[in-house]
Amino acid sequence: MLQLYDEKPISIFMNDNDQKIRVQFCNIKMKMKMCQFKHFNQYLVRLSKQINDGTDVVDLLLVKDSLNISISLNHFLQLSHAVRIVMTEKFDQDKIIFN
């Protein structure tokens, strides 16, 4: 297992035997191919642009079974930061812009 990011409450890792990225946050567990992880990063970036002073909760629409979840702004920012760190450090995405 290759640990890509591990700071409570978020864990991002890969298993050696398959090349899927696993993301665990709150009580959600997701398994994605690398291309799906990149799309997930883009989705989080788009959502972060919609945050304003009155935002307390962020709604995520996860593809499997059209699952809608609401997470606190703090957890969303932690998740978004973790995904960007992995994209930058492990997948050589050269541009990283923090809100």
Q: Where are the domains of the chain?
A: 2-90
Token digits for 2?
């290759």
By three-state DSSP, how is residue 52 classified?
Answer: coil
Global pTM value: 0.82
Each residue of 3-21: pLDDT tens digit?
A: 787 788 899 998 878 789 9
Question: Would the pLDDT of 81 be above 70?
Answer: yes
Identify the pLDDT of residue 69. Answer: 87
Each residue of 18-54: pLDDT tens digit?
A: 789 999 988 888 899 989 999 999 999 999 999 999 9
Q: What single-letter DSSP state applies at residue 55?
A: -
d(CA 45, CA 42): 5
- What amino acid is encoded at 28 in this protein? I
| Mean predicted confidence (pLDDT) in 82-98 | 75
